[in-house]
Chains A and B, each alone.
Chain A
Amino acid sequence: MRGVRAQVFAALGDRTRLALVAKLCGGQPCSISQLTGGSKLTRQAITKHLRVLERVGIVHSVRAGRESLFKFDPGPIDEIKGYLDFVSAQWDQALSRLKLFVED
């Protein structure tokens, strides 16, 4: 799972993709045309970025007639948050032991 987490971080570490996530995270599925609207980027460029997000599971494409709609999935980001919470809790415990150790 940690390899996957690194990929999720990498996928989000791009301004265009972050903007796409920001548009989609309201929950409403969007078509490529909707996502390209008002953008300087081409349909192809937007599609490429959506595929990156799709590979790590942050968005899923769903068919609606002849169009593909892209839908946001909070799962991977929630998972990362859970992981960081876990590492954080481990440090809390280790530092409590350190405190007892040096104040003894």
Chain B
Amino acid sequence: MNNQIEKRIELKAPVSRVWRALTDYREFGEWFQVKLDGPFVAGQVSRGHITYPGYEHIKWEAVVQKMEPQRLFSFTWHPYSVDPKIDYSKEIPTLVEFRLEETPTGILLVLTESGFDKIPSDRRLEAFRMNDGGWTEQMKNIANHVAQKL
């Protein structure tokens, strides 16, 4: 387990095609399954609602951060805020980044979602890197690093 999610996927399509799918609000809505009210604009709030069957009552809200053409698209949001009774706006949002890298056969899309906590240093982050069920072991490993500081 880490405090950041990272995904890499190869897309056999030109960079302009991938960029449009990510940043055109209608195209984004197609694959993300959300109906957005209007275009993405850096620095502005994007609103809409989920179109995934059974979740149509869920609102989508994100703040677009960066739109660097054909390189980087990012927004902050409250991931999978599916409980209408909870006011997620008080929580610190996570940052979602889509980075595009050209490869000989298409595009490598690197998605990261970060900020599941506010841990500042790499040392602390290491503490969250827990393998499947093996976190107790990891905790013991970091004990050596930190115990003498106690």
Contacts and interface: CB of A to CB of B under 8 A. Distances in A.
Contact of B21 (A3, A13, A98): A98
A9 B88 contact: no
B91 interface: yes
Contacts, number: 122
A103 B140 contact: no
A20 to B, nearest CB: 7
A66 interface: no
Contacts of A23: 143, 147
Overall SS of chain A's interface: helix
Interface in A59-104: 74, 77, 80-81, 84, 86-88, 90-92, 94-95, 97-103
A5 B3 CA distance: 12
B12 A103 contact: yes
6 contacts: A15-B149, A26-B140, A77-B135, A87-B80, A88-B7, A99-B11
Given A5-B116, A101-B30, 18 more contacts: A6-B91, A6-B117, A9-B116, A9-B119, A16-B150, A21-B139, A22-B143, A87-B80, A88-B5, A91-B5, A91-B7, A95-B9, A98-B11, A98-B21, A98-B22, A101-B21, A103-B11, A103-B12
Interface residues on B, range: 35 or more
Interface residues on A, range: 35 or more
A13 B147 contact: no
A80 B87 CA distance: 19
Closest 10 CB pairs of A and B: A9-B117, A22-B143, A102-B13, A97-B31, A101-B31, A19-B146, A13-B119, A39-B150, A19-B150, A25-B139
B25 to A, nearest CB: 14
Contact of B128 (A12, A22, A25, A91): A12
Nearest to A81: B1
Contacts of B111: 91, 95
